[in-house]
Amino acid sequence: MRYLFCILLLTAGASAALAQSAQTVAPPPPPTLLPQTSTSTSCLITCDTVAATCQNGCVVVGPVASGSAASSGGNASCTLACTTQQLVCKQGCTR
């Protein structure tokens, strides 16, 4: 009887090990990116171009006088206005 019990235990253990090794987990599917329409992409590029042109206008060329707008923070407010305009423009592209 003891012999038969050992054979049953060995058979059960072997079948459980085979069942566990036979299970394979499928890898997750690769991420898919949503296609952007050319209209949306064109709109975003236009917003970036306008903002770059605006920010180029904020750069002071030549010697900076001590009382100029650049030394008093005028350049920072100009750049901030350009960036704000760019963000507002881009929000309009997603609609």
Residue 31 inside a domain? The answer is no
Residue 19 inside a domain? The answer is no
Residue 20 inside a domain? The answer is no
Residue 51 inside a domain? The answer is yes
Q: Torsions phi, psi of 59, nearest 5?
A: -80, 130
Residue 92 inside a domain? The answer is yes
Q: What is the pLDDT of residues 63-90, one digit of tens each?
A: 766 655 545 567 889 999 999 999 999 9
**Which residues of the chain register pLDDT less than 50?**
70
Going from the C-alpha of 32 to that of each of 26, 28, 40, 46, 93, the distances in angstroms are: 17, 12, 19, 26, 22
Tell me the residue type at 3: Y
The domain tally of the chain equals 1
Question: What pLDDT is stored for residue 51 in this prediction?
Answer: 96
Strand, coil or helix: 91: helix
Residue 90 inside a domain? The answer is yes
User: Which residue range(s) make up the domain with 83?
Assistant: 36-58+70-95
Strand, coil or helix: 83: helix
Going from the C-alpha of 66 to that of each of 73, 77, 80, the distances in angstroms are: 12, 18, 22
Nearest CA among 41, 35, 79, 37 for reference residue 59:
79
* Separation CA 73–CA 78 (nearest Å): 9
Residue 80 inside a domain? The answer is yes
Q: For the chain, give the mean pLDDT.
A: 76
Residue 10 inside a domain? The answer is no
pTM: 0.51
